Every structure is written in structure tokens, then in C-alpha cells.
Amino acid sequence: MLLLLFVKVLEQHQKIHISQQESLEGFLNHFIDLVVIANILPIARASATQQRERMPTMKEVVNGRVWQGLGSGYDCNAFLIKGDQQTILVDSGTHSATEKVKEILSKFGVTAIVLTHGHLDHVGGAAHAIQTIRVPIWASQREAEKLETVDTNYIDPFFGTNIPPIEIGRRIEEGNLLDLGEITLKVLETPGHTSGSICLYEPSKQWLFSGDTVFADGSFGRTDLSTGSSSQLIDSLNRLSAHSVDSLFPGHMRSVITNGSKHIAKSYQNAKMWLF
């Protein structure tokens, strides 16, 4: 929360045109001034709200099939996948994204939410949104245990944010096929970032929804949190490298629409270098 406040104050700091060249010390010296001018914050808030309203909640990234949203601040990227029979949301941002998630669930008629793993920045929005809009949640067995019992240290090791228990309606596991109609997602268990992390692979379209296992541009998920394992992550990246991936839709940072396999191969090479 403190960090959020800091970011908000920093935004305000930039708004009032104090030189951005100032040192951090200089900025902190202005903190009191910023508190004094807090009366202009509502104006800034109103303008931010107007900006948000102009922005579509989800951006279409594959014609009529895949939309991407959230992804700013602490929120992970969320993906909406629309088949002919079912529409699923992959991940849901933090608790701060609850209203956006509710809007997505109702606007797109989402039939299930699939969680790639149980960290707050992926599950918080769903945990709260389903209190008012009932949509089944699917996750792996290992993550289900953490979410149903609300293992706060696991879900949010940094701030210990509390969320309502998430009942997992379907435990998905390696090899399960999620048939959405014209789109079939294969569940790949990819431990490393967490032991129960999964990816979703669409073989005919060569899409990979990779959660925090692998990101574009040679990056990959951290392995120092609860149940993380560097050797397992390397094995998972090796395994993903064997799949033909055109579009890579990761849990953070940018998605790539073509040449996903090249990004994964680079991540695998980097992980082998950096994680040992």
C-alpha cells in the first residue's frame, strides 16, 4: 500500500511540473508540499477516471477470439478467449481489478475463469468478482488447495492481502482438453514459478497462455517464492520450447503475436544461464 501511495504521490509530483531531474532526496523534501496541495488530488482523480472510461477494458488481439486487458500496476494480464460454445477468462488481476473483472464477466458472458496459478495478482479480481457474479473457477489441484483454504502467505507473500476463499469448481491437470468450440486448449503443467502453475496451449492455432512461467523477450517467472523451483522452471521452459508457439500470451509484460517460440527459446537459454 505504501508503494501505491508513493506511486500516486510520484504521479502528482510529475503533474505539478516539479523538475523530474531532481534527486530522490529532493523529491522526498517535497513530500510535505505535496500533502499541502492534496486539495487538487480530486481533480487529478477525476481526470484519471475519465481517461480510464475512454479506455476499453479489453483490447482485441486475435480477431473475434482473444482479448487482452488489465496488466497495469500490480495486475497481471488477463485474457478473454471466446470459442463458439464457451468463453473463458484466463487470470483476473488483483483485488483492485474487481470492478473491471465484473464488467468483463457480464459484458462477454464468461462461462469459466481459469487461473494459471494462485498469486494475488492473478486471482484477487476473481475472488471478489464472483461474490456477485457467479462464474465457475478452474485451477490445478495444487493451487486449488491454497485458494480454497486462503493460504495468505502463499497468495500474497508481500502484503498478506486477505481474499475470500475461492472454491475451485474444476481441478484441471496435465493433458486435460478445454473445449471451447473451435478452440481447444490443452493444459500443460509447468511447475517452477509455483508447483501448481499451468499453461494453456492451443495446438492448431499455436497459442500459448503462459501465466508467470515464461514471458516475451527472454524473460521468465521468479522462482524464489513459496513452492518455486529453479530446476523445475528450467525443465518447464525446456518442455515449452518443444511446442510450436506463434502467439505468446504471458501473465506480465507484452504479448507477441508471431514467433512466440523464439521468445521461449531465449527464455530457456537465459534461465539456464541465470538460475544456476
Instruction: Closer to Zn ion by CB, 163 or 180: give it.
Output: 163
Q: Which residues contact 241 (CB under 8 A, 6 or more apart)?
A: 261, 264, 265, 268
Instruction: Closer to Zn ion by CB, 76 or 264: give it.
Output: 76
Within 38-107, strands assigned E span: 58-62, 66-70, 77-82, 87-90
Instruction: Closer to Zn ion by CB, 180 or 251: give it.
Output: 251
Pairs from 59-63 (Cβ < 8 Å, separation ≥ 24): 61/247, 61/249, 61/255, 61/257, 62/205, 62/207, 62/247, 62/257
Instruction: Closer to Zn ion by CB, 98 or 213: give it.
Output: 213
Site string for Zn ion, 153-192 (x = CB under 5 A): ----------------------------------------
Q: Which residue has the cell 534527486?
A: 23
Q: Which of 119, 146, 252, 263 binds Zn ion (CB under 5 A)?
A: 119
Instruction: Closer to Zn ion by CB, 13 or 119: give it.
Output: 119
> Segment near Zn ion (CB under 5 A), from 113-121, 126-134, 149-157, 159-167?
113-121
CB of 194 to Zn ion, least distance (A): 7
Size of the site for Zn ion (CB under 5 A): 2
CB of 122 to Zn ion, least distance (A): 6
Distance between CA atoms of 128 and 126, rounded to whole angstroms?
Answer: 5
Tell me whether strands 58-62 and 87-90 are parallel, antiparallel or unpaired: unpaired
Site string for Zn ion, 198-217 (x = CB under 5 A): --------------x-----
Residue 241, helix vs strand vs coil: helix
CB of 70 to Zn ion, least distance (A): 14
CB of 118 to Zn ion, least distance (A): 8
CB of 160 to Zn ion, least distance (A): 16
- How large is the angle between the packed helices 260-274 and 230-241, nearest 10 degrees? 150
Other beta carbons within 10 angstroms of residue 94's beta carbon come to 25
Give the residue closest to Zn ion by C-beta: 119
Residues contributing to the site for Zn ion (CB under 5 A)? 119, 212
